[in-house]
Chains A and B, each alone.
Chain A
Amino acid sequence: MALLEIEGLCAEVEGKPILRGIDLALPIGEVHAIMGPNGSGKSTLAYVLSGREGYTVTGGSVRFAGQDLLAMEPEERAAAGLFLAFQYPVELPGVGNANFLRTALNAVRRARGEKEIDAINFLKEARAALRRLSMADEMLKRNVNVGFSGGEKKRNEVFQMALLKPRLAILDETDSGLDIDALKIVAEGVNALRGKDFSALVITHYQRLLDHIVPDRVHVLSAGRIVRSGGPELAKALEASGYAGLAAEAA
């Protein structure tokens, strides 16, 4: 059964069509990569799925675990188990990372009818997750993403993901701006969650990340449509031939 079913999804930004009919089914437990050139609609897809304002769905449907995803508020999507790792994580001056994470975790737990986690147990869990990601405890004391380097911000996204334990993670170019060590940490963070209850859409421009997070399927997005799908070998082929030939082929 598919966890995420996207059918004929069309969306526009400021009246400009970006997604022009996306069809994609992501089975439970699988990791799919979405690749494509700049401007193909990769990030728009991530934002539409996570419910960001300013993106107007003009057609199609998205079902997530059987629910109509597009009818849900962003926080309801998170509670249902969807997590977006931002391409550009947002800074929250005046909001401590620990408080932010505990608030988020408890909001999600409340929405799922689970018990809230107290401060002590939260810290225990958070520290354990930090250790797994080779991150310093000091991370918890800082304001959310404020003064973080590009790599730290991305790692903080993976850290949040590790705590929130989503059923579906959408990684929006989480590899951009990362050096190889940071890339490995991010990949390990994702791989640690892999299993029958975890699925992911890994959006990336480059094949590099897919050496570390090996996808079950690869989809190529071009001008708002999926023009090709295949196994991990498709990513390698793209790396060799580039997107240019592919776009021409699709046209």
Chain B
Amino acid sequence: MSLAAAMTLGLRPGIFYRGAKLCCINLLLTYQGGCAGNCAYCGLQRQRQGDFNQKSFIRVEWPTFPLDEIIARSADRTAAIDRICISMVTHGRAVDDTLAVAESLKPLEKFVSVLMAPTVIDKEAIGGLKDAGVEIGSVAIDAATEELFAKFRGQGVKGPHKWERYWQCLGEAVEVFGRGKAGCHLIVGLGENEAEMAGTIQRVVDLGANVHLFSFYPEEGSALAGRSPCDAGQFRRMQLASYLIQQGFTSADRISFDGSGRVTDFGVAGEEVAIVIESGIPFMTSGCPGKDKLVACTRPFGDGPPGDIRSYPFTPNMEDIAKIRLEMGDI
């Protein structure tokens, strides 16, 4: 499970910076042989040195615990937990194991999400997940363009993943779970420009899925370890664009871009944009919702260190908003 989830369940020591809370327990299937994928930015990359269960993922270690212990701890702390998310990896047993884990979680009576591995799952199996009580199915397309996807996840790294299959799988998730019950992870800063990312966000929204944005942060030991983290301004503009598109304030074709593809106008009146920015909500972690929370999956400091927050796991305060405005630059 994620370090943050382990801390939430009291299985690892530590307190989150600024009292952040996580209400979603993020589980990752763990195999001796690891993930068959070889994604250049991922800590679980096949070609990276080390045993699978010793590799870091999204900046931190993912400690391994028996499922029974996780379920018992979650039952003990039921009031603090709204949702449990199972992340598949690309492995031959992952579909069956995800189904088994989902079945085991039923007595907890929590919302369950699955981050699906499209390369090994088909529509019938997605239906099986729904039958097992899964409420939301997500797909990590991650790259905003087909070219970047092939370069970092497909042929470029001798990886098994296909752009078309990922989009098809997202469509299947919408069909099975319903509109608004499917999610799509996108990583900002893999080399796309802002116009390309806005177009991809629009495509996800048009499909009926929600967008969960991540800021690229180089994973130690991965092929992209030497690359710079996503520019803060670029990420802020994409967080805002994603929010405005998903709320129906604008659309990708109403946003204006300069010659390099950078946003120059969101296609929304300035005073309305100001209200949205001041709310801080676009800059909070985007993820699956909780029982009575906008987002349960707050992933505290998952896409940047606590000293340089990219996705805020809490509502940004006035100082945070001032920093966000500076990072965003002139629009």
State whether these chains interact: no
Which B residues are within 8 Å of any A CB, using their own CB?
none
Which A residues are within 8 Å of any B CB, using their own CB?
none
